[in-house]
């Protein structure tokens, strides 16, 4: 009898610990989506980004701006301007859908003392918003070497890399930083 109980408890422990997995390693900047950098001439580039459906449109625009800053610095420039072209005007946030869960109804004669599991929780049957399309953002940028030759509304690529780069795993020079393992996994 004791051997059976020990065996069942071992199975239960293995089942529970098997479900508890360590979080995966953080993704690098290059793994956040699909990038495309096409040189148009010696100082203009077309930067495109396609993320998966769980990235918001605002985050995709931020990542594309960061990729434009990285491209600017890695090609020897300091400033860049996002060109106003008709393709940028047509970019729309991805389509979303609202999914409503199946409502749960209490038994015919509802008595909260007899059926406490049917408590009317307003947050239980909340609808979920699901993104249907992958996020796509594209910019055409023109790069400049110094402040005098750049237009007044040009972005400083180094400043963007310093302020946003760390958040997405880029150094201030535009190099991809490798994610660090957390202390739990490195101590094993």
Distance, CA of 142 to CA of 77 (rounded, Å): 10
| Inside any domain, residue 149 | yes
Which backbone phi and psi does 44 adopt, to 5 degrees? -130, 145
Residue 48's pLDDT band (cuts 50, 70, 90): very high
Tell whether 138 is covered by a domain: yes
State the average pLDDT over residues 167-188. 68
Range of the domain at 153: 25-95+134-176
Indicate the pLDDT class of residue 60, thresholds 50, 70 and 90: confident
In a domain, 69, yes or no: yes
What's the pLDDT band for 186 if we cut at 50, 70, 90?
very low
Mean pLDDT to the nearest integer, 23-52: 84
**Rounded Cα gap, residues 10 and 31, in angstroms:** 39
Domain count, the chain: 1
Domain assignment present for 120? no
- For the stretch 63-94, pLDDT in tens is 999 999 999 999 999 999 998 765 555 566 66
Residue 50 included in any domain: yes
Planar angle of CA 35, 80, 29, nearest 5 degrees: 30
Share above pLDDT 90 across residues of the chain, in percent, rounded to a whole number: 29
Residue 140 lies in a domain: yes
Burial (Cβ within 10 Å: 0-12, 13-18, ≥19) of residue 95: exposed
The reply to whether 154 falls in a domain is yes
Establish if 101 belongs to a structural domain.
no
- Which pLDDT score is estimated for 44? 95
Listed residue (158, 156, 162, 94) closest to 129, CA to CA: 94
pLDDT at 121 over 70: no
- Whether residue 24 is predicted with pLDDT greater than 70 in this model: the reply is no
């Amino acid at each position: 009898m004791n051997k059976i109980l020990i065996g069942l408890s071992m199975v239960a422990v293995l089942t529970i610990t098997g479900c508890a997995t360590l979080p995966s390693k953080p993704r690098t900047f290059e793994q956040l989506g699909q990038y495309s950098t096409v040189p148009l001439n010696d100082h203009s580039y077309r930067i495109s980004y396609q993320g998966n459906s769980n990235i918001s449109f605002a985050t995709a625009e931020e990542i594309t701006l960061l990729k434009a800053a990285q491209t600017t610095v890695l090609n020897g420039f300091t400033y860049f301007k996002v060109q106003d072209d008709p393709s940028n005007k047509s970019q729309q946030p991805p389509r979303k859908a609202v999914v409503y869960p199946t409502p749960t109804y209490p038994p015919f004669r509802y008595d909260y003392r007899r059926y406490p599991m049917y408590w009317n929780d307003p947050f239980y049957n909340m609808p979920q918003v699901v993104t249907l399309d992958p996020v796509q953002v594209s910019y055409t940028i023109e790069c400049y070497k110094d402040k005098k030759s750049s237009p007044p509304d040009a972005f400083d690529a180094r400043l963007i890399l310093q302020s946003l780069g760390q958040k997405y795993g880029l150094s201030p020079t535009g190099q991809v930083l490798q994610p660090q393992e957390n202390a739990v996994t490195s101590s094993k």
